[in-house]
C-alpha cells in the first residue's frame, strides 16, 4: 500500500442543528459538509451570527440544552491500529480508507489482529476482513458515540480554543493546574513530568514558566490567550479548533499570536480549524477556506483558489471588504441589507435578498453544494466563473 501523502482527519457530512427558542427554531447549522486533512489549516469565515461557533460545538458535541441535533455525520479519523480507537468504533458507522479508497459501513468486530467491517460496496452488503496494518485510517462517526465514549476524544482528539478564551480559565485554580488537569485526564502522567510539560508549552507559546503557578486574574488578556493556546496543545491533539482566537486582543498582539500559532501548527503537523468573522485573519493562516452564510456553508475550497477567484457572490462580497477590517461585527461595504434572521431565513438561496446576481430561481430553490472547479465547492445557481 502506497503511503498517502495526505489523508483526512475529519469529515463532516450534512451537519444540521437548530436551537429551540420561544420564537421558533434558530436554524443555526444547515447541511454543512467539509473535510479536513492531516496537517492542514481550515478557515471558517462568515459574518457574526452565521453559525460558525455552532458548527464547532456540534461536532464536539458540546451543545447547550436547547440545541437540537438534527442529523449529519462527523467522521473522526485515527490510525486503525490504535486499539482504543478501533474498540470505540465497534457497532458504529465508520469510514475506512483502504489503499486510498474509501469504504463506508459498520464495524462489527475487533480483535487483536483483525477488524471486520459490514460494508456496503456496489450496493451489496458484504463483510470485509481487514488486518490491522491494512488500515491507514479508521474514521468513527462521533455523532453515534455516547457521552462516555466521546470523553476520550475531547481534548486528546479534538481540542478547542473557545471564542471567549479569556473566560475559559477557571478563576479559582492556578493556570498550570488547569492544564495539568487536562493532561491527567487523558494520560497517566505524574505531576513533576506534567509540570515540566506545561513549562515547555509555556515556552512554546511565549509565556514565562513562573506563570503556571499564578491565577488567571493575575494574567493580562494576551497572556490568558497564550495560556489557553498552551492548554489546547496540552494533550497533543489531532485537531485544534480555534474560535476567534485573537478577536479580543489588540491588532499587534493579534498578528503576533496568529503567526506563532501558525508556526506551532506547522511544526507539530497538527490540523486546525480557525474560525473568524475576519477574512484577513483567515487569509493569513488557512490552507482551505469554508465560507458560511446564515447557517450554511456556501463555498469551500483551497484558499489560493478561493482568494484568486471566488465562485459564490457572498465570498466575493466578503473579499471586497478585505483586508481593511479587524474588529467586531463588520458591516460589509459592498453588501446592502442585514444578515438574515435564522428563525425565518429567506427561501431558496438564503443570500438572495442581498445578492446582486440573484435570478428568479434563487428565491425558489436551494442551490446544491457542488464542485464547480476542481476541489472548489459552492452552493450557487449563478456561480462566478
Ligand X SMILES: Nc1ncnc2c1ncn2[C@@H]1O[C@H](COP(=O)(O)OP(=O)(O)OP(=O)(O)O)[C@@H](O)[C@H]1O
Residues that bind ligand SF4 (CB under 6 A): 312-313, 349, 351-352, 355, 357-358, 362, 367, 380-382
For the bound state, the minimum distance from the C-beta of residue 165 to ligand X, rounded and expressed in Å, comes to 12
Name residues whose C-beta falls within 8 Å of residue 249's C-beta, 6 or more positions apart in sequence. Answer: 221, 222, 225, 257
Per the listing, cell 489523508 goes with: 7
Three-state DSSP state, 138? strand
Dihedral of alpha carbons 239, 221, 165, 23, sign? negative
For the bound state, the minimum distance from the C-beta of residue 24 to other proteins, rounded and expressed in Å, comes to 22
Q: Which is nearer to other proteins, 26 or 283 (CB)?
A: 26
Q: What is the DSSP letter of 127?
A: E
Q: Which is nearer to ligand SF4, 216 or 313 (CB)?
A: 313
From residue 322, alpha-carbon distances to 280, 292, 315, 319, 379 in Å are 6, 16, 11, 5, 22
Residues 253 to 282 in contact with ligand X, rule: CB under 6 A: 277
Using the contact rule CB under 6 A, the part of the chain among 20-28, 80-88, 109-117, 194-202 near ligand X is 20-28
From residue 382, alpha-carbon distances to 102, 354, 379 in Å are 32, 14, 9
When binding is defined by CB under 8 A, the residue of 169, 233, 258, 292 that contacts other proteins is 169
Residue 382 near which of Mg ion, ligand SF4, ligand X, none (CB within 5-8 Å, type-dependent)? ligand SF4
- What is the edge-to-edge ordering of all strands in the sheet holding 114-121? 24-37, 8-21, 67-78, 137-141, 93-98, 101-110, 114-121, 124-131
Q: Which is nearer to ligand X, 32 or 140 (CB)?
A: 32
Q: How many CA atoms lie within 13 A of 333 on its CB side?
A: 7
Residue among 99, 97, 105, 103 at smallest CA distance from 37: 97
Residues 35 to 64 in contact with ligand X, rule: CB under 6 A: 46, 48-54, 64
Using the contact rule CB under 8 A, the part of the chain among 92-100, 145-153, 308-316, 354-362 near other proteins is 145-153
First to last CA, the chain: 38
Residue 50 near which of ligand SF4, ligand X, Mg ion, none (CB within 5-8 Å, type-dependent)? ligand X
Using the contact rule CB under 5 A, the part of the chain among 13-21, 159-167, 177-185, 311-319 near Mg ion is 159-167
Instruction: Check if the beta carbon of residue 317 is closer than 8 Å to that of residue 304.
Output: no
C-alpha cell at 217: 486574574
When binding is defined by CB under 6 A, the residue of 21, 126, 127, 263 that contacts ligand X is 21
Q: Which is nearer to ligand X, 108 or 164 (CB)?
A: 164
Q: Which is nearer to ligand X, 28 or 273 (CB)?
A: 28
Using the contact rule CB under 5 A, the part of the chain among 50-58, 151-159, 176-184, 374-382 near Mg ion is 50-58
Using the contact rule CB under 5 A, the part of the chain among 51-59, 166-174, 286-294, 336-344 near Mg ion is 51-59
When binding is defined by CB under 8 A, the residue of 172, 267, 336, 385 that contacts other proteins is 172
From residue 302, alpha-carbon distances to 250, 284, 309, 377 in Å are 29, 13, 11, 10
For the bound state, the minimum distance from the C-beta of residue 84 to other proteins, rounded and expressed in Å, comes to 13
When binding is defined by CB under 6 A, the residue of 12, 17, 28, 158 that contacts ligand X is 28
Q: Are β-strands 376-379 and 296-302 bridged in parallel, bridged antiparallel, or unpaired? A: antiparallel
When binding is defined by CB under 8 A, the residue of 27, 73, 186, 277 that contacts other proteins is 186
For the bound state, the minimum distance from the C-beta of residue 287 to ligand SF4, rounded and expressed in Å, comes to 25
Three-state DSSP state, 299? strand
Using the contact rule CB under 8 A, the part of the chain among 41-49, 74-82, 213-221, 280-288 near other proteins is 213-221
Dihedral of alpha carbons 198, 203, 206, 208, sign? positive
Name residues whose C-beta falls within 8 Å of residue 178's C-beta, 6 or more positions apart in sequence. Answer: 169, 170, 231
For the bound state, the minimum distance from the C-beta of residue 359 to ligand SF4, rounded and expressed in Å, comes to 6
Contacting positions for ligand X (CB under 6 A): 19, 21, 26, 28, 46, 48-54, 64, 66, 163, 277, 342
Contacting positions for other proteins (CB under 8 A): 60, 62, 65, 147, 151-156, 159-160, 162, 164, 167-172, 181-182, 184-186, 190-192, 215, 217-218
Amino acid at each position: 500500500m502506497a503511503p498517502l501523502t495526505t489523508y483526512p482527519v475529519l469529515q463532516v457530512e450534512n451537519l444540521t442543528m437548530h436551537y429551540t427558542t420561544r420564537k421558533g427554531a434558530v436554524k443555526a447549522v444547515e447541511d454543512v459538509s467539509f473535510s479536513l486533512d492531516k496537517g492542514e489549516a481550515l478557515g471558517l469565515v462568515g459574518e457574526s451570527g452565521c453559525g460558525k461557533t455552532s458548527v464547532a460545538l456540534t461536532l464536539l458535541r458540546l451543545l447547550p440544552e436547547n440545541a437540537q441535533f438534527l442529523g449529519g455525520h462527523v467522521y473522526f479519523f485515527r490510525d486503525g491500529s490504535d486499539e482504543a480507537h478501533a474498540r470505540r468504533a465497534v457497532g458504529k458507522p465508520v469510514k475506512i480508507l483502504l489503499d486510498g479508497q474509501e469504504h463506508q459501513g459498520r464495524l462489527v468486530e475487533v480483535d487483536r489482529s483483525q477488524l471486520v467491517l459490514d460494508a456496503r460496496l456496489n450496493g451489496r452488503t458484504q463483510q470485509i476482513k481487514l488486518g490491522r496494518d491494512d488500515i491507514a485510517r479508521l474514521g468513527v462517526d462521533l455523532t453515534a458515540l455516547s457521552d462516555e465514549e466521546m470523553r476520550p476524544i475531547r481534548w486528546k482528539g479534538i481540542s478547542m480554543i473557545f471564542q471567549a478564551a479569556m473566560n475559559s480559565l477557571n478563576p479559582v485554580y492556578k493556570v498550570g493546574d488547569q492544564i495539568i488537569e487536562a493532561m491527567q485526564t487523558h494520560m497517566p502522567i505524574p505531576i513533576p513530568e506534567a509540570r515540566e510539560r506545561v513549562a515547555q508549552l509555556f515556552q512554546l507559546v511565549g509565556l514565562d514558566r513562573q506563570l503556571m503557578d499564578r491565577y488567571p486574574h493575575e494574567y493580562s488578556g494576551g497572556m490568558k490567550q497564550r495560556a489557553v493556546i498552551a492548554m489546547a496543545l496540552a494533550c497533543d491533539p489531532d485537531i485544534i479548533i480555534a474560535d476567534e482566537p485573537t478577536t479580543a486582543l489588540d491588532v499587534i498582539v493579534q498578528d503576533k499570536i496568529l503567526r506563532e500559532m501558525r508556526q506551532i501548527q506547522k511544526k507539530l503537523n497538527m490540523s486546525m480549524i480557525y474560525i473568524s468573522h475576519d477574512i484577513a485573519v483567515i487569509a493569513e493562516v488557512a490552507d482551505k477556506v469554508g465560507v458560511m452564510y446564515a447557517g450554511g456553508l456556501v463555498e469551500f475550497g483551497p484558499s489560493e483558489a478561493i482568494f484568486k477567484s471566488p465562485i459564490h457572490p457572498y465570498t466575493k462580497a466578503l473579499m471586497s471588504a478585505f483586508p481593511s477590517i479587524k474588529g467586531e461585527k463588520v458591516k460589509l461595504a459592498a453588501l446592502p441589507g442585514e444578515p438574515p434572521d435564522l428563525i425565518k431565513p429567506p427561501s431558496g438561496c438564503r443570500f438572495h435578498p442581498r445578492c446582486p446576481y440573484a435570478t428568479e430561481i434563487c428565491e425558489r430553490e436551494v442551490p446544491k453544494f457542488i464542485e464547480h472547479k476542481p476541489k472548489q465547492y459552492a452552493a450557487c445557481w449563478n456561480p462566478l466563473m
